[in-house]
Chain A
Amino acid sequence: MSNHDTHSAEHHHDAIAEIKKVTIILSVLTIIELILGFWMIGMESQGLRLAVKGAIVILMMAKAFYIVAYFMHLKHEVKNLIMTIVVPLALFIWFIAAFLSDGNSFRNLRNTYDPHFKEQSTIKVQEKHEGGSEKHEEKSHEEK
């Protein structure tokens, strides 16, 4: 640290300030996520649940952006490098959309044409799971 001129010292301060800023942003985003998570506990309305889940996904993407852009320094790299990283990641859009929509379609198919599957997913289990950890510990060991 001895022989650095004022310019690099300034850069040093900027960088530290940026790290501090991003740390705070990430913490705040995580805390908002957790608040939303707590809010969801016991939430009855399915529509609202879905909306909250959407909000959590958006917050997740924002966190990912801050980590990649600032911690991994991508934002300060040459534009060419940014493009070669970001463009292939766009493949994930179709990757996710196709897989999940086909998963959903597979559930509909099975509910329509697979009575065994339908039956399996309507069997209610006893409330005994609610009681605490010891009980189903025994149960699962019996199963084994």
Chain B
Amino acid sequence: MSNVTTASSEAKWWGGGKSPFDVEYGKVMMWYFLMSDAFTFGAFLISYGTVRFSTNGWPDPNKVFKSFPFAPEGVNAPLVFVSIMTFILIVSSVTMVLAVHAGKMMDKKGVVRNMIWTIIGGIAFLSCQAWEWNHLHHEGAWWGVNPFMNADGTASSTNFTNFFFTITGFHGFHVFSGVVINIIMLIMTLMNKFEERGHYLMIEKAGLYWHFVDLVWVFVFTCFYLL
């Protein structure tokens, strides 16, 4: 049904008969889907900012996120665990680039190896998040419950935990679906689907999604743990 790719290459970018972006339609869709998703996350984070701006006090993240797995009771190690999570996601993003690159080289082994690493990274990140949620829940934090006080010692509204769980939850949901997509891609690679098609474009699109998830984490990490 496609009439795109056959046109002569000397036609102008926008002249019709070929893609003005030199990419197939699926990638255009993926980019625009990510734009759309960027507005979803943007709306969440901007709402968080708006509520924070309209509130007098806010908890100090360093007093909230200060533990890590297997840590002794009452440990005070802010930023340690979340930096591990951040590096896990960055590394999994790097392995994803390598997988995409291997796909361009038609290097099936490279794709499989790097996809496996990416999936492991994604699962590791999700496990970290699960631990952190569980830990915070044990401290009494949940939607509608905020045991932490503001940095200036006043009582805090529940919106700190509300936004934290909603936004990291929504991000975690994206990571989860990214892992599922990556697993599907891995299986398709192992079944030689892409070798038969002659290209690994699906890996590239999955890669775009995975990097977007990483990108969102850059913002979530900064907004919740640093600022």
A binding-site residues for B, Cβ under 8 Å: 1, 4, 8, 12, 15-16, 19, 23, 26-27, 30, 33-34, 36-38, 40-41, 53, 56-57, 60, 63-64, 67-68, 70-73, 77-78, 80-81, 84-85, 88-89, 92, 95-96, 99-100, 102-104, 106-107, 110-111, 120-125, 129, 132-134, 136-137, 139-141, 143-144
Main secondary structure of the interface of B (DSSP, over half): helix
Chain A to chain B: the 6 pairs with minimum beta-carbon distance, closest first: A140-B140, A103-B53, A103-B50, A121-B56, A81-B21, A106-B54
Asked if A121 and B57 make an inter-chain contact with CB atoms under 8 angstroms apart, the answer reads yes
Please classify how large the interface on chain B is, using the bins under 10, 10 to 19, 20 to 34, 35 or more: 35 or more
Asked if A77 and B55 make an inter-chain contact with CB atoms under 8 angstroms apart, the answer reads no
B binding-site residues for A, Cβ under 8 Å: 13-14, 20-23, 28, 31, 35, 38, 42, 46-47, 49-57, 62, 67, 73-74, 78-79, 83, 86-87, 90, 93-94, 96-98, 100-101, 105-107, 138-141, 145, 147-149, 153-155, 204, 207-208, 211-212, 214-215, 218-219, 222, 225-227
Asked if A124 and B105 make an inter-chain contact with CB atoms under 8 angstroms apart, the answer reads no
Asked if A67 and B54 make an inter-chain contact with CB atoms under 8 angstroms apart, the answer reads no
Contact of A80 (CB < 8 Å), options: B20, B51, B96, B154: B20
Contact of A89 (CB < 8 Å), options: B22, B28, B35, B105: B35
Asked if B83 and A78 make an inter-chain contact with CB atoms under 8 angstroms apart, the answer reads no
Between A and B, 28 residue pairs with Cβ closer than 8 Å are A1-B107, A12-B105, A23-B94, A41-B78, A60-B218, A64-B215, A67-B93, A70-B97, A71-B211, A80-B14, A81-B21, A81-B31, A84-B31, A96-B49, A99-B46, A100-B49, A103-B50, A103-B54, A106-B53, A107-B54, A107-B56, A110-B54, A123-B155, A124-B155, A125-B154, A132-B74, A136-B147, A137-B147
Contact of B53 (CB < 8 Å), options: A27, A63, A104, A144: A104
CB of B184 to closest CB in A, whole Å: 20
A95 / chain B contacts, CB cutoff of 8 Å: 42, 46
Asked if A103 and B212 make an inter-chain contact with CB atoms under 8 angstroms apart, the answer reads no
